[in-house]
Structure 1
Amino acid sequence: MSENDFFAPPAFKPEEALLKLRRELRDLGLSERAGVFERKGQAIAKAAVDGAVLQLALVKRPARTPEWVGKTVKDHAQLRDFVATLKKNLSGWSDGDE
């Protein structure tokens, strides 16, 4: 074990990351149906494990026919960024809806 291994981040395990993501999205008030996370019946995000990465997508705006923006997540930092972006979008969409 070299000295640099001490500072290495933990290995990214997409299955565990997906479980964590599901919990966080439920805490934000989203419900899951077949890998798609919804709010008030409209798709907001989707997630799936693809080998050693997570394939995520976020809608540009909530709509009956959503327009998806995809992202491949390979580490925990990218996953945190995705959740932060989703939180920001949800709060903006909530302000616009009311």
Structure 2
Amino acid sequence: MSDNDFFAPPLFKPAEALVQLKRQLRDLKLSEQGSRYTEAGLAVVELGGGDTAIEVRLVKRPARTPEWTVHRLASSADVRRFVDHLKIQLARWRQDE
């Protein structure tokens, strides 16, 4: 083990991170329907797994036919950043209702 390995972040495990992300989405009061999470019957988030990253689609605005933005979460920091961004978006959407 070299000196540089000591400070290396742990390897990202997408399968474990996906389980945690699903739990966080449920904590945000989103309804789970397979790989899709909804609020008030409108799609908000879709999750997809991969070998090295989590593929996430987030709506620009909840609607019957939503426009999606794609996010690739390849580290734990990306997952935290996405959840923080989603919390802000949900607060805005809920305030507008």
Residue 18 of structure 2 corresponds to residue 8 of structure 1 = no
Instruction: Provide structure 1 residue ranges, at least 5 long, that are not aligned to the other structure.
Output: none
Name the structure 2 match of 1:31: 31
Query: What is the CA distance between 1:73 and its match in structure 2?
Result: 1.1
Per-residue CA distance 1:29-75 (angstroms, 9 max, x = gap): 00111201111111111111122111011100000111100011111
The 2-side partners of 1:31 and 1:9 are apart by 33
Name the structure 1 match of 2:95: 95
Name the structure 1 match of 2:50: 50
Calculate percent identity across the aligned residue pairs: 46
Name the structure 1 match of 2:66: 66
Give the match's secondary structure for 1:64. Answer: coil
Paired residue total: 97
Give the alignment's Cα RMSD to 1 decimal.
Answer: 0.8
TM-score by length of 2: 0.95
The 2-side partners of 1:60 and 1:7 are apart by 37
Query: What is the CA distance between 1:10 and its match in structure 2?
Result: 1.1
Which amino acid is 2:57 matched to? A
TM-score by length of 1: 0.95
Instruction: Provide structure 2 residue ranges, at least 5 long, that are not aligned to the other structure.
Output: none
